[in-house]
């Protein structure tokens, strides 16, 4: 079957190419570091759920495997795109921050003005924070706040700490450290991450586009721009830089889908099911989500103010939400289908639930 015929069968395309490129079936990787690098970045504002976003995409993993990778600094949790929390591979953090820094800084400026934070105040606070963290002294945000309030810098409010740490992250000063009593800490990035080769803008754009389209195909220019948090002009340039690696097809609604040539284009007859975490890349990393979830069901999967619920993916489609409950000392998973008439392979669903239990009971 050629590429044009595949596009004409969109449901089949999404159940084969996208689930495979997203590593939700036929998984290629064993380590958290490798899958995070493959994905480019994994959205991570829900700290426990983002660990499952890594685990579900590996051949086999436990929450300890992901937590060890975080503790060792192989993967890091920081503000690197849009802006929101993401997991990134350590070797990718500097060039990604460089690519996104000015836009992230601009997006935070309104909040800084609202809080009354001047550049002088930020500079003074940051110097103190750097001194606190020197010597691999990883501290939680709360601990940093306590120490700042002891300093001679006047007028620091609790809400300002959030901005100070966000700004220090995007400036490439701090990143995530080793968890302390299940709370994330901050560390100095130069003590946490080995020196890496500096990329120019075109090199960074090409690498970002390669990572995205290898791991998120099929996707559009608009999808890529939404995920990366970059303007359309930069994203067009990124796509142009790797155009020889992409297959393109113009659709009837005047949009264009792009598929990286490395993706498997042969249709699969196997069925698949996964219980995906809140804010999962399978749904959140696309501006247009109608190919994986019907428009009428979207309010059940995510809210207008950007809260994305844990979801059930079945044969490429989002068909339900799920929750874990403690009942009489026993942990149960409750699935809420969007359409009660939909028949889902119970054996596949059971295996998907077992994967969640095997990974962790802490989600």
HEC letters along 160-189: HHHHHHHHHHHCCCEEECCCECCECEEEEH
Q: What are the φ and ψ backbone dihedral angles of 360, each rounded to 5 degrees?
A: -175, 155
> Do both 82 and 11 map to the same domain?
no
> Do both 122 and 167 map to the same domain?
yes
> Do both 142 and 244 map to the same domain?
no
Out of 214, 234, 260, pick the residue that ends a domain: 260
Would the pTM count as exceeding 0.95?
A: no
Paired with 289 in beta bridges are none
State the average pLDDT over residues 181-205: 96
Question: CA-to-CA distance for 237 and 339, rounded, in angstroms?
Answer: 41
pLDDT of residue 3 exceeding 80, the answer is: no
Q: Which single residue is written with the structure tokens 């090409």?
A: 206
Number of structural domains the chain divides into: 2
Out of 192, 221, 236, pick the residue that ends a domain: 192
DSSP 91: G
CATH number for the domain that contains residue 150: 1.10.10.10
> Do both 217 and 183 map to the same domain?
no
> Which residue range(s) make up the domain with 226?
3-27+199-260
User: pLDDT tens, 139-150?
Assistant: 999 999 999 999
Quote the mean pLDDT of the chain: 91
User: pLDDT tens, 167-187?
Assistant: 999 999 999 999 999 899 999
State the average pLDDT over residues 278-293: 95
> Do both 91 and 188 map to the same domain?
yes
Task: Determine the pLDDT at residue 206.
Answer: 98
């Amino acid at each position: 079957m050629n590429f044009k015929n595949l596009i004409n069968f969109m449901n089949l395309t999404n159940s084969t190419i996208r689930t495979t490129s997203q590593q939700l079936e036929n998984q290629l990787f064993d380590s958290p570091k490798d899958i995070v690098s493959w994905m480019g970045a994994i959205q991570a504002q829900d700290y426990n759920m983002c660990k499952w976003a890594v685990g579900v995409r590996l051949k086999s993993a436990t929450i300890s495997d992901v937590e060890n990778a975080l503790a060792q600094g192989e993967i890091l949790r920081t503000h690197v795109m849009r802006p929101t929390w993401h997991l990134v591979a350590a070797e990718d953090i500097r060039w990604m921050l460089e690519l996104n820094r000015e836009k992230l800084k601009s997006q935070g400026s309104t909040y800084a003005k609202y809080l009354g934070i001047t550049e002088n105040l930020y500079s003074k606070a940051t110097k103190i924070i750097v001194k606190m963290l020197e010597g691999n002294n990883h501290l939680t945000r709360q601990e940093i706040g306590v120490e700042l309030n002891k300093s001679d810098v006047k007028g620091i409010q609790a809400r300002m700490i959030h901005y100070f740490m966000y700004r220090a992250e995007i400036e490439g000063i701090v990143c995530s450290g080793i968890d302390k009593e299940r709370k994330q800490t901050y560390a100095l990035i130069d003590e946490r991450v080995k020196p890496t080769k500096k990329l120019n803008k075109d090199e960074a754009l090409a690498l970002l586009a390669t990572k995205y389209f290898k791991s998120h195909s099929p996707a559009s220019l608009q999808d890529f721009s939404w995920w990366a948090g970059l303007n359309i002009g930069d994203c067009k340039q990124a796509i142009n830089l790797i155009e020889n690696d992409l297959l393109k097809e113009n659709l009837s609604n005047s949009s264009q889908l792009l598929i990286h040539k490395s993706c498997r284009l042969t249709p699969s007859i196997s069925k698949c099911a996964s219980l995906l975490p809140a804010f999962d890349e399978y749904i959140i990393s696309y501006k247009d989500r109608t190919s994986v979830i019907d428009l009428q069901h979207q309010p059940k999967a995510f809210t207008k103010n950007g809260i994305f619920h844990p979801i059930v993916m079945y044969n490429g489609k989002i068909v339900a939400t799920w929750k874990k409950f403690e009942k009489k000392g026993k942990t149960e998973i409750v699935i809420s289908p969007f359409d009660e008439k939909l028949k889902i392979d119970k054996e596949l669903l059971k295996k998907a639930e077992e994967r969640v239990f095997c990974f962790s009971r802490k989600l």
